[in-house]
Amino acid sequence: MGRSPCCESEHMNKGAWSKEEDERLIAYIKRHGEGCWRSLPKAAGLLRCGKSCRLRWINYLRPDLRRGNFSDDEDELIITLHSLLGNKWSLIAARLPGRTDNEIKNYWNTHIKRKLHARGIDPQTHRPLDYTNAAGAGAAAICANANNGSKKAESHSTTYEELSSSSSSARLPAAAAKERLNSFASTAVAVREEEESTNNSMSSGVTTTTTIAEEVQVQLINNKNLINVHKDTDGDVDLDLSLCLSIHRRQTIIRNNSTSSTASTELLSSATPPPANTHRDHEVLLLSLGFRHGGCSAPAATTLDLLSDPSSPPISRASSCWL
DNA sequence: AAGCCGGCCAACCGCACGTGG
DNA sequence: TCCACGTGCGGTTGGCCGGCT
């Protein structure tokens, strides 16, 4: 069953790489760039499978790698990101320039786990060890789900009901989440107002449909996309993830250029549309907004609804896994 | 000095995903 | 829609090394 291994040939080298192999690989990639890993070994004259070459390059030979000990700041960042993302090492590595997923994974298993145990914290659940032991099946199920990123099939079935029916400490921090989202929506409005005040005429124009008072609706037409932030009169907030990504980028650009309105305008005009890999960008965006990952990935172009009260009717969308 | 043991980490393995035919 | 293929990801393995007895 399945495909035969890529390196089934008996004539392939395995195990540690020699200096000569490293040099060959580096020289080849310098000349031809990364990619086409399957055909690379033959072209580079290496008796290795493509996977092995890719791994060696990414984890060891890449020039932008940052070797050496992890700093305390990196430790804390890894712990924080792990509490948000679970064992999504590649996502965590993406937030630590120069570090690889493999390196972080190893570091987690050999250092940080012990460090957290010493602090009395369960490294999987990020809860106090005594609490974790007594938390019951509900919380355990959620934590297991949160740390089961690679086994995706069932995680999308997680419902608000399931989350809120588990132990009280595992319940959604609905009020806090709502507050964060409201804050983000307000900032989005501020961005719109700033754009209007600068009276810029960029091609990705801005249209306003309502006032800010009770109902906020921001529509930013960014190249081919429409950004929609909607705040109901009862305080619930909806926003389209793929599109608030653009808002987020605009915010960043504006912050970085707050001293020069001209520069802001120019940069805003060149703001890029959401990338192809929106799935991952949604996760990064939500993290940056302060949301906690609850076990599944945000699907592309979905809408995030936050309910103001845990007693509200359950939602069964995948997006409900963002807490 | 020799043997044992545990930590560390590079590398491997199997599976899932995205894409193109 | 299905399948094959290339690639990426997370879990696991195994060899090396240093400390301890």
Over residues A38-80, the pLDDT tens digits come to: 888 888 888 888 888 888 888 888 888 887 888 888 888 888 8
Q: Which nucleotide C1' is nearest A114 CA?
A: B7
Could you tell me the distance in Å between the CA of residue A222 and the C1' of nucleotide C6? 33
Q: Tell me, what DSSP letter sits at residue A4?
A: P
Choose from A1-5, A68-72, A202-206 the range with maximum mean pLDDT.
Answer: A68-72
Q: For residue A283, which of A271, A303, A305, A299 has the smallest C-alpha distance?
A: A299
| Mean pLDDT of the region A217-233 | 31
Per-residue pLDDT at A93 exceeds 50: yes
**Element at A219 (helix H, strand E):** strand A216-222
Residue nearest to nucleotide C14 (CA to C1'): A15
Protein-covered nucleotides of chain C (CB closer than 7 Å) are 5-12, 15-16
Entry pTM:
0.53
How many angstroms separate the CA of A78 from the C1' of C19? Answer: 29
Q: DSSP class of residue A303?
A: E
A298 with A239: CB under 8 angstroms? no
Torsion angle of C-alpha atoms A108, A112, A116, A121, degrees rounded to 10? -10
Whole-angstrom Cα distance, residue A7 to residue A156? 34
Lowest average pLDDT, out of A33-37, A100-104, A111-115, goes to A33-37
Cα(A58)–Cα(A66) distance, integer angstroms: 12
The answer to whether A103 CB sits below 7 Å from nucleic acid chain B is yes
Q: Closest nucleotide (CA of A276 to C1')?
A: B18
Query: From the Cβ of A15, is strand C under 7 Å away?
Result: yes
Q: Tokens representing A283? A: 């996760």
Closest CA relative to residue A304, chosen from A230, A239, A236, A208 = A239
Of A140 and A94, the structure prediction assigns the larger pLDDT to: A94
Through-space separation of residue A246 CA and nucleotide C17 C1' in angstroms = 50
Nearest nucleic acid nucleotide to A106, CA to C1' distance: B9
Residue A18 scores a pLDDT above 50 = yes
Q: Is the CB of A133 under 7 A from strand C?
A: no
Per-residue flag: A62 CB under 7 A of strand C: no
Bridging pattern class, strands A216-222 and A206-208: antiparallel
pLDDT given at position A11: 66
State which residue has its Cα closest to the C1' atom of C10: A150
Is residue A215 a contact partner of residue A163, using CB atoms and an 8 Å limit?
Answer: no
What percentage of chain A has pLDDT greater than the value 90? 1
